[in-house]
Amino acid sequence: MSMSLDSKSFQARWVFATTVGFTAAAAIRIGLPRHSWTAALLVGVVQGCLLGASQWLVLRSLIPDARRWIAATSAGFALMLGAYFFADAAGFVGELQFERFPGVAWLLRAAALAMPLGLLQWFVLRALPRSPLWTPVVMASYSLAAGVSAFLQVGGIAAVQHLPGPIFTLVADGVVPGSLLGVFTATPLVWIASGKSLRPLLSRLFPPSTRRNRA
């Protein structure tokens, strides 16, 4: 499949699939225990399978044997939640810190633990041009999405705070971060796959006339 920065259909489907998969993962997390290392791994495996399968439906049109994306995402989420459990148990991020700064938990998990997920997914994308850039894209995207999710959890938007518990979880932990992840990764994925220069995109964002006016 020939990809380009103008592949709006692929990007729209990617955003939708990521939102649906992440929301389904958040729904599963409501009913699964996370009080032990094995439980954290189980939750991670299930969440990663849901997100990976949803994204695979779109990604299979881009790369051959895309089914490995499901396993990579599942393993990445298992490592993410397993390592998070160990960090919490070791006191690196204590309960008191969570109560005072709820966003710290999300930011730490995103910044420190998104790297293995990005590396495992890169292994599936490694045949694509500029595929090594996928890992930093994943790290940055998860950090931004986690920051917004944490903002909602500490009362950033009053209307969201008044939603019933399960619905709030789906919105704050699923719909919002899932849609943001889809948006943040869609265009970079297309660009990585196309192997084209960033100049067309930069020219579109910053036209020469605009740059001259600023000068």
Instruction: Write out the two tokens for 116.
Output: 């293995």
Q: At what angle do helices 102-125 and 134-153 cross, to 10 degrees?
A: 150
**Which tokens in the block code for residue 169?**
């979880």
Residue with tokens 């292994």: 123
**Whether pLDDT at 119 is above 70:** yes
Q: Amino acid identity of 27?
A: A
Q: Assign 36 to helix, strand or coil.
A: coil
Inform me whether the pLDDT recorded for 197 exceeds 60. yes
Instruction: Report whether 201 contacts 191 (CB < 8 A).
Output: yes
Contact 47, 215 (CB under 8 A): no
184 alpha carbon, distance to own chain's centre: 8
Residue-averaged pLDDT of the chain:
77
d(CA 92, CA 30): 24
For residues 122-141, average pLDDT: 91
The percent of residues in the chain predicted with pLDDT above 90, rounded, is: 27
pTM of the model as a whole: 0.77
Residue range 145-158: mean pLDDT, rounded: 66
The answer to whether 167 and 105 are in contact (CB under 8 A) is no
Q: Token digits for 114? A: 């998104």
Q: Which contacts (CB < 8 Å, 24+ apart) does range 27-31 have?
A: 27/169, 27/170, 27/174, 29/169, 29/173, 30/166, 30/169
Q: What is the mean pLDDT of residues 44-69?
A: 90
Between CA 198 and CA 70 the distance in angstroms is: 29
